[in-house]
């Protein structure tokens, strides 16, 4: 039987780095630390080497089709496939809650559109009984959306990828032509691009589960809590090692009946469709020190 393989995106720092660290300690197989910037990635690997941990390294920019193709070819050639994929790489605009069209497009491209590239190029390599963990956010719960039309459309049983893409494009178009309305989102429309991208990511998780069902691959999305990383300028309730616990649980320990779920940092499975729930992100929590 071939060696098992786990891959973490955006792992040169923050929660992704801590996930690699935890997997190196527990996963029986090869763990890949990947990063868009090779120098930053290799420095992170050296840091783990000092702890006697031996992740492998490969460059991977999730928005760059060439980079993802090179990584796909490498995995295929070296291992024949992979078993665990943790989609962690992301950006947010925590310091600038109402940002420009260009910045929102950048956020949507990294946090959501990239998943479509990975789906095309990497998912076919995931072996039967594998696991995919999409690191979403509390910004990814449906209660972040206040526009009734979109709540209804994203909640429909036969949701498809066009519904999700049109939702994302509707938001970007509103930003571009100046018709963005704060009332369409929770928390006065702060960090709307990040909310849209993470809602789209949690929604597509359920479609991915449908696709992967036949091969008993579990696909879940999760919120890691408010974590002290550069994304939050160091603000948060949890360390990166604490935040890695639930993603690693989903990758290694969760029962394989847990599929297509939206999971909270304390491992609770939440009802993603409860649009009136109080799970949406409040920007005021970023003031907590």
Ligand X SMILES: NC(=O)c1ccc[n+]([C@@H]2O[C@H](COP(=O)([O-])OP(=O)(O)OC[C@H]3O[C@@H](n4cnc5c(N)ncnc54)[C@H](OP(=O)(O)O)[C@@H]3O)[C@@H](O)[C@H]2O)c1
Q: How many CA atoms lie within 13 A of 31 on its CB side?
A: 26
With H, G, I as helix, E, B as strand and everything else as coil, classify residue 122: coil
Q: How far is the CB of 172 from ligand X (least distance, A)?
A: 18
Is the four-CA dihedral 64, 28, 19, 278 of positive or negative sign? positive
Q: How far is the CB of 239 from ligand X (least distance, A)?
A: 11
For ligand X, give the closer residue by CB, 63 or 155.
63
Residue 63 near residue 110, CB atoms below 8 Å: yes
Of the candidates 266, 99, 60, the one whose C-alpha atom is nearest the C-alpha of residue 190 is 99
Contact 4, 37 (CB under 8 A): no
Q: Is the dihedral of CA 19, 229, 111, 243 positive or negative?
A: positive
Name the active-site residue from 32, 57, 194, 262.
194
Cα Rg, the chain, nearest whole Å: 18
Tell me if residue 257 falls in helix, strand or coil: coil
Q: Which is nearer to ligand X, 49 or 216 (CB)?
A: 49
Nearest distance, CB of residue 250 and ligand X, angstroms: 13
Kindly tell me the burial class for residue 17, based on how many C-beta atoms sit within 10 Å of its own C-beta (0-12, 13-18, 19 or more): buried
The binding site for ligand X (CB under 6 A) comprises 9-10, 12-16, 35-37, 40, 60-63, 88-92, 110, 135, 137, 223-224, 226-227, 229-232, 236
Least separation in angstroms between residue 164's CB and ligand X is 17
Q: What is the per-residue burial (b if ≥16 Cβ within 10 Å, else e) of 141-166? A: bbbbbbbeebeeebeeeebeeebbee
Name the residue nearer to ligand X (CB basis): 57 or 127. Answer: 57
Closer Cβ to ligand X, 127 or 172, answer by number: 172
Q: Which CB sits closer to ligand X, 60 or 217?
A: 60
Whether 98 sits among the annotated catalytic residues: the reply is no
Using Cβ positions, the residue closest to ligand X within the complex turns out to be: 14
Nearest distance from C-beta of residue 98 to ligand X, angstroms: 19
- For the annotated catalytic residues, the residue numbers are 194
């Amino acid at each position: 039987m071939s060696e098992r393989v786990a891959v973490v995106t955006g792992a040169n720092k923050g929660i992704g780095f801590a996930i690699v660290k935890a997997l190196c300690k527990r996963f029986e197989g090869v763990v890949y630390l990947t990063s868009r910037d090779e120098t930053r990635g290799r420095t992170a690997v050296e840091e783990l080497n000092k702890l006697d941990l031996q992740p492998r390294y490969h460059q991977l920019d999730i928005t760059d089709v060439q980079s993802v193709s090179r990584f796909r070819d490498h995995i295929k050639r070296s291992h024949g496939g992979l078993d665990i994929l943790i989609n962690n790489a992301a950006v947010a605009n925590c310091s600038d809650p109402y940002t420009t069209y260009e910045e929102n497009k950048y956020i949507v491209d990294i946090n959501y559109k990239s998943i479509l590239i990975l789906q095309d190029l990497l998912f076919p390599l995931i072996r039967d009984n594998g696991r995919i963990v999409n690191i979403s956010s509390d910004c990814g719960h449906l209660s972040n959306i206040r526009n009734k039309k979109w709540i209804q459309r994203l909640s429909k049983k036969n949701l498809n990828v066009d519904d999700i893409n049109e939702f994302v494009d509707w938001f970007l178009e509103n930003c571009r032509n100046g018709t963005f309305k704060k009332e369409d989102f929770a928390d006065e429309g702060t960090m709307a691009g990040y909310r849209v991208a993470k809602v789209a990511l949690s929604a597509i998780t359920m479609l991915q589960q449908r696709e992967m069902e036949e091969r008993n691959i579990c696909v879940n999305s999760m919120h890691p809590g408010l974590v002290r990383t550069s994304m939050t300028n160091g603000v948060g309730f949890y360390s990166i090692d604490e935040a890695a616990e639930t993603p690693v649980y989903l990758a290694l320990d969760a029962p394989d009946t847990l599929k297509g779920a939206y999971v909270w940092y304390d491992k609770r499975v939440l009802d993603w469709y409860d649009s009136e729930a109080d799970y949406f992100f409040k920007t005021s929590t970023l003031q907590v020190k």
